[in-house]
Structure formats: C-alpha cells, structure tokens
C-alpha cells in the first residue's frame, strides 16, 4: 500500500507524463478482425485526444469503421530503470470522426506541435479529424506502481494484488486446476 503523499506524487507524475506526450499508439481491428496498430500525433482538447489522419493511412480506414479503439502513450525506453517497467498509460476510447469546422483550438494545438504552415498544407489534403474519448485506463510507472485512472486524473487508484488471497484460492479444492 502506498501513502497519501506517494499517491499525490504519482498523480502529479501521471499528469506530467501525459503533458509530455505528443504521439499516441492507436490499436484497432482491420476488416478481418485482425489487430492493427499505428502511431499518430495528437492534441488534447475538451477531454478528448484528437488525431488528424490521411485517407492513405491504413488507420484512417479502421478508425472510420470503429466505435472504439485502444490507445497507449508510452515513455522513453532508454530512461526506464527496467524495461519491464516502462512508463505508459493505456485507455479504451470511443471513436468519432468530427468535422474540421469548429475545432480551431485543435488545429492550433497541431500547429504548436509542428508549425502553422504544415497544418494549413494538411488541411488542404485528404486528412480527417477523429476524436478519441478516453474511458478509464491504466497508468504504469514501474513495478508495484500501477494505477486505474481516468484520463483527467479524477480517478487515480493504486492497483494492489492480494497474493495471499490468490494463493488461497488456487490451493482450495474449488480453485484447483483439475476443476477446469
């Protein structure tokens, strides 16, 4: 169990981690139900992650048909103390293609990531705007430091596994492997 001070420090670290990300890994399914993942720059606005995707990109087709997608924001592997504990946050998101009109703040965010001329160029091409609205997710910052989270951090619960209860259940007659 962690202390309240450690929980607050971890929450601050979570928010700093999210603020430091500029790309998101997107997981969808293709037409045959096979998994597909891609990476895209994103902007956070009004509680959603916005990605701007070309029709040429495979993930455009998948996002256009998807009601949900998985996303992962991940930290730098080279700075991880242990490769198994790379800092990351994952969420299931609702997917919605949205019109460009009325989303000027989103495009200003993309311009800040690259530059305004690049964004203006892309807006004249075959790009489409998608809003990915995160549901609850999981933030991992190392061993024994996993948290069930909401994207905005309003929910931030330390995940604790009770190994004694797991061991007791697997050794009891009703929890034995021979019952399966």
Domain CATH number, residue 126: 2.30.110.10
List the domain range (segments joined by +) for residue 37. 4-179
Binned at pLDDT 50, 70 and 90, residue 178 comes out as: very low
Tell me how many degrees the CA angle 146-46-108 measures, rounded to the nearest 5.
110
Q: Can you tell me the mean pLDDT for 146-168?
A: 83
Please say if the pLDDT value at position 50 is more than 90: yes
pLDDT classification of 180: cutoffs 50, 70, 90: very low
* All residues at 6 or more sequence positions from 29 whose CB lies less than 8 Å from its CB, including other chains: 35, 36, 62, 66
Q: How many domains does the chain have?
A: 1
Q: What is the pLDDT of residues 69-94, one digit of tens each?
A: 999 999 988 887 888 888 999 999 99
**What 3-state class would DSSP assign to 101?**
coil
For residue 167, name the pLDDT band (cuts at 50, 70, 90): low
Pairing state between β 156-158 and 35-41:
unpaired
Number of neighbouring beta carbons within 10 Å of residue 113: 13
Query: Three-state SS for 114?
Result: coil
């Amino acid at each position: 169990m962690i202390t309240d001070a450690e929980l607050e420090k971890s929450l601050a670290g979570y928010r700093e981690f999210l603020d430091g990300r500029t790309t998101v890994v997107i997981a969808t399914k293709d037409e045959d139900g096979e998994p597909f993942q891609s990476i895209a720059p994103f902007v956070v606005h009004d509680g959603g992650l916005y990605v701007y995707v070309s029709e040429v990109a495979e993930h455009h087709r998948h996002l256009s048909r998807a009601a949900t997608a998985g996303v992962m924001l991940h930290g730098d592997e080279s700075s991880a103390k242990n490769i198994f504990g790379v800092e990351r946050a994952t969420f299931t998101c609702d997917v919605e293609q949205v019109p460009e009109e009325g989303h000027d703040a989103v495009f200003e965010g993309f311009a800040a990531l690259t530059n305004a001329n690049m964004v203006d160029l892309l807006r004249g091409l075959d790009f489409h705007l998608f809003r990915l609205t995160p549901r609850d997710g999981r933030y991992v910052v190392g061993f024994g430091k996993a948290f069930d989270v909401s994207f905005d951090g309003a929910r931030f619960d330390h995940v604790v596994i009770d190994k004694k209860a797991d061991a007791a259940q697997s050794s009891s007659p009703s929890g034995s492997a021979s019952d399966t």
